[in-house]
A and B are shown apart, each in its own frame.
Chain A
Amino acid sequence: MSVAALFALVAVGIVGWWLFARQLTAKPWEKRQIESDNASGGAALALPAARVGLWLLLAVMTSFFGLLISAYGMRMELADWRPLAVPDLLWANTAMLLASSAAFQWTRWAVARGHAEGVAAGLVLSGLFAFAFLAGQVLAWQQLHASGQFLASNAAAAFFYLLTGLHGLHLAGGLAVWGRTTARIWRIRARLEDVRLSIELCALYWHFLLAVWLVLFAVLMSGTSLTSAFLDICSAIVKAL
């Protein structure tokens, strides 16, 4: 829970900090302030609304996955916890998702350069990699199932299915948007300007889901305690330095 509480605090804190940066200490009834506000006309973020909306959605999703991880961490501390040996296939899947994210980033650059063919190819590629990731996840489920680890057989297995499943659902949702964007390029030969925002937002969403996956992957391999796993990673980093 402390993870989630910390996140929520940080998120609200960021909002608060940003607001303070917007002169939340000003006195809007004072003449000087009125004049300066009327002269400037006020300010908003220099971003399209859709992008602000997406950032907010990512905050919501961070809260969601953060809470899942909190629940995982708390459930781990209980007596019956037996860590799960996650299938090695996940490494390959991770590579797929990385590739998908990279392809999206490349597509984004292609849009910026106005390189239409590159955009189409990049989109298809990132979609294919994403599908490969999902297929790999399903395969990992099957492997686990075949090895006798069912949803109800122990809590670690249940969390494995739950976390990967929810992450996969979010990616599937992203793929729906990806499908619409790709179809638009294909069908109406849209001008790049028309799909630019969609592609940018998709890329952002993809990077976010990649980051979520990397965290989830680390969490799923963290053995018997999130805290000690976290400390292990920290000490490994310190040693490497």
Chain B
Amino acid sequence: MRYGDNDVLTGVDFDVHTDEVVCLLGPNGAGKTTTIEILEGFRIRSGGQVSVLGQDPAHADEDWRAHTGVVLQSWRDHPRWTPRRLLTLLGDYFEPYSTPGHPRPWDVEDLLETVGLTELADRKLTALSGGQRRRLDVAIGIVGRPELLFLDEPTAGFDPQARREFHRLVHRLVSLEHTTVLLTTHDLDEAEKLADRVLILAGGRIVADDTPDGLAQRVAGAAEVRWSIDGERFVHQTDNPTGFVRDLFAQGGDEVNDLDIRRASLEDAYLSLVQQHEAGHAEAAARSFREVTR
């Protein structure tokens, strides 16, 4: 993907399988939103191949839309509408796509109950709080009972309570509906909680692709050993800190001082990625993160 002369996405290759919850994680400006908008068919890409549910989203027909759901970041649209009215109307667009095996749309009363908006169903949208509005966004995204659901930064601006409720909602959806979910976030904790698989995006490319546990193990393998000899400081990266330190003592003996062994955690690795990325060193950030998780 290219804006003017600037390639913003250069190496984004991945597959998402049915029933999977995949999280696109990365610092702000890494290209997450661009990636997800290309997949949603909202943005035309400058190059590369994309196939979503068997079609190229850039040229997909309206029927393709019936099988995808998009949770948008709403702001102040439909101020005079009520959740019930809006959900009913938008849901009815999916009616012609209903089959006995997969009825659409979702029953509005059920859906309101699922997202916890039954009590507020007849209030005007302007009267809803940020968290309530976001739950309505989710409801609108899933009202057509999509096979594939896109969520872009779903919990941006949430307080911890709202975030936990939202995570619970996503879990329930996945287990109830077997929806395949692709979501973006810049929050590692959220990615670990929600995703079956995490893709880390930095500098326009995917620098890691693994389960949350797998990622953590890969990072934890590496450690950093620091010591000093005669006031001079040394640093060494190793997969086997115990063995390295044994050798170090065998060679240096009494002169080794200030010994410090640090096991890298996924959080540390991710935080330093974000820091470097935000300092404008996207390429370097991506490279060093790849080294840590190799």
Check if A and B associate. no
